[in-house]
Structure 1
Amino acid sequence: MTSFKIGILSDTHLTAPSETFKKIAEACFHDTDMILHAGDLTDPEILTVFSGKEVHAVHGNMCSTLACQHLPSHKEIKVGGFTIGLIHRVGNTYDFEKRLIDIFPEADCIVYGHTHKPVCHRLGGVLYINPGSFTGTGYYGAGGTFAVLEVGETLQAQIYQIQAKR
């Protein structure tokens, strides 16, 4: 079975796609088939960078009114027989993975953002992915991270540090 690659990012916090953002996004996601943005993109114009790819996004707590009006708070995506839940946040961090599975009880994978801290692990048969902040956030988390999810016979994901110069 040929794998299907999904580029995952979150917490870009940009009001418009800069040339630097465009270059870094192209370098990170050139070989992906789909893009998932887990919120706090701030403005939906950011998603235009990914034209030509299937894009799914949710709004976050720092999004513009326009983004909140046009993007859902959470959604499910079906890919290769797997169900992926996409959300920005679900309240405070206490017991949040249980609350995520309550929102997406059929999910094989749950992608979320908000914390700016990259996470990629399995719990109870569910793959949890937080790509961290794509644009880097100093003391809030790692500087510039993203994830790639490969969908084949199984789900495999990895977090990457952005290496491009800003």
Structure 2
Amino acid sequence: MKCIVFSDTHGNYPLAIEVLTHAAPADMIFHLGDEAEDASMIESICQTKVQKVAGNCDPPGKFPREISMFVEETKVLLTHGDRYHVKSGLAKLVERAVAVEANLVLYGHTHQASIERINDILFVNPGSLLRGSSSKSYAVLKIEAHHVEAQIVMLEE
């Protein structure tokens, strides 16, 4: 299963749609907040379901702050990351991932793309598509049973 992961689009949903046009086909799309309303725009324009969570810049109550779900046989935790203070490190997010028995954690908030494995859990931050940012990025996941491959794709200006 091929998944595309966005976070921190901050209104730049047209770039996300352009990415999806070039990266197609995607079996699943994730949006990790800031702004989750962008995910709704992507969903309606691309006619594809987007799993979305709210970030710290989203209005409270409209979207969930966290989702735990299975993709294939992989338990995935979606969160923006601000509640786990990810700008100061991943310790609190690791604790949460262990508590929900996640195999894969998708988070944003820092605007810095990263892939790391901690305690046999894969943590993926797709970075940001923020307008004016010098480093725009997203993530591509390939998920098959319990195996996950993650790649960060950097976009040129």
Contact 1:9 1:146 in 2 (8 A): yes
TM-score (norm. length: structure 2): 0.83
Distance, in Å, in 2 between the alignment partners of 1:158 and 1:17 is 21
* Structure 2 portions without partners, runs of 5+: none
The residue number in structure 2 matching 1:111 is 106
Aligned-residue offset at 1:117 = 0.4
Contact 2:9 2:38 in 1 (8 A): no
Structure 1 runs (4+) greater than 6 angstroms displaced: none
The residue number in structure 1 matching 2:28 is 34
* Structure 1 portions without partners, runs of 5+: none
The residue number in structure 2 matching 1:74 is 66
The residue number in structure 2 matching 1:47 is 40
Aligned runs of 1:7-156 on 2, under 5 Å? 7-14=4-11, 17-18=13-14, 20-28=15-23, 30-41=24-35, 44-50=37-43, 51-63=46-58, 65=59, 68-89=60-81, 90-91=84-85, 93-94=87-88, 96-105=89-98, 106-135=101-130, 138=133, 143-153=135-145, 154-156=147-149
Q: Deviations over 1:139-160 (max 9, x none)?
A: xxx5210001110141110000
Contact 1:6 1:148 in 2 (8 A): yes
Aligned-residue offset at 1:102 = 2.1
Contact 1:101 1:107 in 2 (8 A): no
Give the counterpart letter for 1:49 in structure 2: I
Distance verdict in 2 for CA 1:55–1:152, change over 3 Å: same
Aligned-residue offset at 1:54 = 2.9
Identity fraction in percent: 26
The SS at the match of 1:62 is coil
